[in-house]
Structure 1
């Protein structure tokens, strides 16, 4: 992705589009935290390696054992049932495992879009989107598995030469560069897809900003998530993204202008886009410190100068231990005169719910 200086016509598009969605940026504490995480290595991929029929036979796995303890995820490719651990509502097998399985059958295919994102370590979104592979012009693409999208391209050989190989368990698995991967995601998300709309629900927020269509919101969610996987501290280069030929300059500028690498979940992205125009100075991952100087937590979003903190509460906040922690956070922030807003999925369900949430945030901002 890079942090290159934006020049030429792309700069003008960038400057013209950025004010439409006043962005936020990660706190300085979080940026330092990301740098430390980057030193620790890439996000972990699924531990279980897909195996071919020949490999299972060589390992002494009988047909009965294969039937009872393994799932076929591609023709002649299996994974143990214990590997099926995904939050997807539409799939049983993690996306990265499906990409690895396809690679075992077709090692010349080049992963891009959400297939490459899964291997790069994207921890959400990839389980509900088509997994795209680039193939040569003459390759057969008829009747792929429902989770696959095979795309012919005359650029296949050139893209292979510049490909990344991010999976140490499959060093021959080739993925397009990060910029090409993101551009492919954005292009896919701007193409009509009723199936994707049903699996990946977001509100239409065009009443807030004209460009906040569901397709644009999903594109920013994908960009946020990919930046997280890459351990980026700032959005990538508009110039580099446009040079991939996957997306036009205005779209690239708009998506990267609205990207915040501090978003650690897709609802946090929706929340940010829903409120980012209400006041300047919005930051993500705002640290909250105890009296002894140790870190208590980080607010998902906030205006530190105004003492307003927003937390997105997922299902885990219903647990007793988490509720106790949340109470400690609330007491600490209120002790300093801060205001805390807790946001749930229901607050982001549709335009009316978002408008009610915006009213609460306006009141808190004063």
Structure 2
């Protein structure tokens, strides 16, 4: 299967962003992989199918296609060894990759479904999901993002997005859930550890979203929660929490499409816990 001039993959290959990044590396060599493909190398898997692949090149003019965006930039922080198959493939720093991706999101070049959330444009929800993931998976700091954004992305826009971001979101869907309901009470807590006893060393659960002093546990259940073994485990955790006076709310992907209804549902539990 021909994926670009001079680069081929087996016919049954998955032509995701990483595969295209490898093809660019093989075809041109001295390139630095950025954007979502770069973030995939840094351990953020959520958008590995996102196109186009963004590359930084010191030796060529800018180029844009449906598959590749080549940026003419001579100074980019990068590292080697991220690709086990091609250890000499250069990947931009996490902060540079985030700014690459934010530019594409703001321009509307790259999109994915997000729920309609009051006070946010769709691209801003995607951007907060992205920054949350980079902070949790790559420990990207505000200073690193600010440095990488110089002469590329508005620091005013970046600061607005960063103020909405947290480091504890475990998935893009959990970011959406937080933006929908996180302000229903003060002292929001994410991934709160709950233990069997004060002496227990290992928590029996991490609550996705709760508030300090309120026994309201909100979980986002993705597809990995649908198998029987996981459902049985979730039921046991729910029962244990309810026996301790917690209200447990489970949110699934279809419910995120109706944020106002979801917010009201969680609001009722918060009010009850505050009584």
TM over 0.5: yes
Shift in Å at residue 312 of structure 1?
0.7
- Check conservation: 2:192, 2:208, Cα contact below 8 A: yes
How far residue 80 of structure 1 moved from its aligned partner, in angstroms, is: 8.1
1:163 aligns with 2:78: yes
SS in 2 for 1:123: coil
Partner of 2:67: 147
Return structure 1 stretches of 4+ with deviation > 4 angstroms.
71-74
Q: What is the CA RMSD across the aligned residues, in angstroms?
A: 2.3
Instruction: Give the match's secondary structure for 2:90.
Output: coil
- Shift in Å at residue 303 of structure 1? 1.5
After TM superposition, give the deviation of residue 242 of structure 1 in Å. 2.6
1:290–1:332: 8 Å Cα contact kept in structure 2?
no
Q: Which has the higher strand share?
A: 2
SS at match of 2:55: strand
Instruction: Name the counterpart of 1:357.
Output: 262
Q: Structure 2 matches for 1:136-285, cutoff 5 A?
A: 136=58, 138-139=60-61, 141=63, 144=65, 146-151=66-71, 153=72, 156-159=73-76, 162-167=77-82, 169=84, 170-193=86-109, 196-197=110-111, 200-205=112-117, 207=118, 210=119, 212-230=120-138, 232=139, 236-237=141-142, 239-244=143-148, 245=150, 246-285=152-191
Distance in 2 (alpha carbons) for counterparts of 1:102 and 1:176 = 14
| Match in the other structure for 1:290 | 196
Please give the per-residue CA displacement for 1:28-80, whole angstroms capped at 9, x wherever unaligned: xxxxxxxxxxxxxxxxxxxxxxxxxxxxxxxxxxxxxxxxxxx5544333258
Counterpart-to-counterpart distance in 2, 1:213 and 1:129: 21
1:326 pairs with one of 216, 234, 237? 234
The higher relative CO (CA closer than 8 Å, separation ≥ 6) is in 1
Structure 1 CA distance for aligned equivalents of residues 39 and 81 of structure 2: 10
Q: 1:110 is matched with which residue?
A: 32
| 1:256 shift after superposition | 1.9
**Mapped contact 2:7–2:23 kept (Cα < 8 A):** no
Q: Indicate how the Cα distance of structure 1 residues 240 and 167 shifts in structure 2: closer, same or farther if over 3 A, else same.
A: closer
Contact 1:125 1:222 in 2 (8 A): no
Aligned length: 265
For 2:20 and 2:137, locate their aligned partners in 1 and report how far apart those are by CA, in whole Å: 18
Cα deviation for residue 359 of structure 1 reads 0.7
2:46 maps to 124
TM-aligned CA distance change 1:128 to 1:158, over 3 Å: closer
**How many angstroms does 1:172 deviate by?**
2.3
Give the structure-2-normalised TM-score: 0.86
**Aligned match of 2:8:** 77
Q: In structure 1, list runs of 5 or more residues that go unmatched.
A: 1-70, 85-91
Alignment map for 1:41-60 (pairs within 5 Å): none
What's the secondary structure of 1:190's corresponding residue? helix
2: distance between equivalents of 1:257 and 1:317?
31
C-alpha distance in structure 1 between counterparts of 2:2 and 2:207, whole Å: 42
Q: Is the 8 A contact 2:7 2:26 kept in 1?
A: no
Q: Give the stretch that moved more between structures: 216-225 or 241-250.
A: 241-250
2:34 and 2:92 in contact (8 A); partners too: yes
Residues in 1 aligned to 2:61 and 2:180: alpha-carbon distance in whole angstroms = 43
